[in-house]
Amino acid sequence: MNLLIGSPKGTLGGRQLVWLLLAALAMMGLLAACGGNDPTAVPTATTATADDGGAAADDGSAADDGGAADDDGGAADDGGADLGVGQVTEEEFFAQDWDFTLSSQRFFSWASVTMKRVIEEQLPNVTLTLVDATITELLVDWERSPEKRALSIPYAGTPKEWDMFRGGNTSLFPDNVPLPEVAPELSWGVYPYSQMQIWTTDASGINSVHDLDGKTIRVGINPESVSNSIHREWYDTAGVKPREIVTTQNGPTGLLEGNYDASTSGIVFQLTTSGDYIPLQTAKVIRMIDFTRDSISQMAKNHPEWDFMVPVVLCDSAMASAMNLPYNVIDPDYVGEGSFEDENCTVAPGGHSVLFSTFPEFPQEAMYQMTKALVENMSDVSQAYPGAPWAGDVFGERFGHTTAKQVSFASGAARAYEELGQTYGEEGTQEWYSQRTDPKRWWLDFIR
């Protein structure tokens, strides 16, 4: 039974079975009369033919033809196309109109709106319908209507969860949420490469993980998220016991009102805060704390499957320049463990990317064409990037970057990145660093 259609529940009576057989015969006759090849149908096969050259390679990279079927355009000898999982030909893609759902969540919505505008301008046969949904909600929805997965481009959150899923570790997923049989495949970046972080104010006196003992920390609305589970283990590793606060209140607002001492968040490109933290920036009281190299190293030893558990440097002058802040974001009297001789810096673990993704049955020719449209018009996409004076330039260069390996990318997206010379994935991230004047302080190439 096709996975997209799902499995029927219950048993069929004799009369029902007869009617089903008659309906099936009628449908076969209709398909034969029409040539057996409906260009408007979403491909739903679960396996590709062995010699059609269009299936994604075992290593996850795009096949040479980027997801097309046979060289003659995909039609089999009998006149019916066997396109396989996620495959439509280029001709079939442009011959029909497509309506995909693109998730949009909270302060990431700017990315969804911008990508929708750019893609629809470049590809008139594509409509992106924005939906406000989390990946958890979408998983439940797909369980009820699995055919929707072939038309969905979900906000995938951070790749941490799905890297664990690929390795067989599902312990951090909620028990009441259905998991798919395969992990989603990455495509586009929102915050492509950043790091986990905890924010506080200058009056808190908190500078490192060791100062968190007995303090109150806002963890948002989901205390059992993967990020919070990682934070919790980090506290245990460092031997501190903060008190967690679960609240929907805006993090900076609660800090300024004194409702808690610190709040979990992330740093974009190791430099730029999200829009949530503008109140702290405006009040000129923002501080970030040092995870310390020892605690990060210990967590990496405890979990070798966590590829993202690497120390990422964040320096005071770079942060101030990135957000145009006339004050320190690291206490000038505290020398963090990431510091250089002439630069006060902290360290935090990487891996807090925010990405869009698709599942294998998504038409990969469509993913290729949309990714190509975004990369070729990155100047338009970058203009919507919030925050830093020069973050849009960095975003344009690192659009496909993440802590996840290239093998986890959708074949259509991978094909577009490679054809256009755009680096992507963790391999592309490391390549990009190596090309900087100072790979450890790559931002110096932008702020000098």
For every residue of 382-414, which 3-state class applies, written as one string?
Answer: HCCCCCCCCHHHHHHHCCECCCCCHHHECHHHH
347, 196 Cβ separation under 8 angstroms: no
**Whole-angstrom Cα distance, residue 251 to residue 394?**
26
Please tell me the predicted confidence (pLDDT) of residue 36. 31
The whole-angstrom separation of Cα 120 and Cα 98 is 11
- Beta carbons within 10 angstroms of residue 333's beta carbon: 8
Which CATH superfamily, name and number, covers 194-349?
Answer: Periplasmic binding protein-like II (3.40.190.10)
Cβ neighbors of 66 (< 8 A, separation 6 or more) are 364, 365, 368, 411, 412, 415
CA 126-382-372 angle, 5° bins: 40
As a whole number of angstroms, the distance between CA 306 and CA 124 comes to: 41
Contact 243, 231 (CB under 8 A): no
| Nearest partner of 194 among 428, 423, 353, 389, judged by Cα | 353
Residue showing tokens 């301008």:
121
Hey, what are 7's tokens? 């499995």
Q: What angle, 0 to 180 degrees and rounded to 10, lies between the N-to-C axes of helices 364-376 and 109-122?
A: 100
In this structure, CATH architecture of domain 92-191+356-415: 3-Layer(aba) Sandwich (3.40)
pLDDT at residue 440, rounded to an integer: 84
Per-residue pLDDT tens digits for 84-104: 568 899 999 999 999 999 987
Can you tell me whether residue 288 is helix, strand or coil?
A: strand
pLDDT by residue (tens digit) across 169-217?
777 677 787 888 888 999 998 887 778 888 899 999 999 999 999 999 9
What residues does CATH 3.40.190.10 cover in the chain?
92-191+356-415, 194-349
CB burial string 355-372: b at 16+ within 10 A, e below: bbbbbbbbbbbbbbbbbb
Rg for the chain, CA atoms, rounded: 24
pLDDT confidence of residue 32 = 33
Q: What angle do CA 62, 67, 69 make, to 5 degrees?
A: 140
Classify burial at 1, counting beta carbons within 10 Å of its beta carbon; exposed 0-12, middle 13-18, buried 19 or more.
exposed
Question: Which residues, including other chains, have CB under 8 Å from residue 356's CB and lie 6 or more apart?
Answer: 102, 103, 115, 153, 154, 155, 156, 186, 187, 188, 189, 190
- Kindly report each contact of residues 242-245 with a partner whose C-beta sits within 8 Å and lies 24 or more positions away, as own/partner: 242/212, 242/213, 242/214, 242/215, 242/216, 242/217, 243/214, 243/215, 243/216, 243/217, 244/216, 244/217, 244/219, 245/216, 245/217, 245/218, 245/219
Where do we find the tokens 């330039």? 393
> DSSP assignment of 222-243, as one string?
-TTSHHHHHHHHHHHHHT--PE
| Token pair listed for 445 | 């190439």
CA angle in degrees (0–180, nearest 5) for 80-81-82: 115
pLDDT at residue 106 in the model: 63
Calpha distance 446→448 (Å, rounded):
6
Local mean pLDDT, 10-residue blocks, the chain (448 residues) = 30 36 37 32 32 33 35 34 69 96 77 92 96 84 91 80 81 78 90 83 93 93 79 92 89 90 83 72 87 90 80 84 79 89 87 84 96 95 70 86 90 96 92 91 80
**CA dihedral (366, 367, 369, 370) positive or negative:** positive
Task: Print the SS3 string covering 308-350.
Answer: CCCEEEEEHHHHHHHCCCCCCCCCCCCCCCCCECCECEEEEEE
Name the 3-class secondary structure at 16: helix
Question: Is the full-model pTM beyond 0.75?
Answer: no
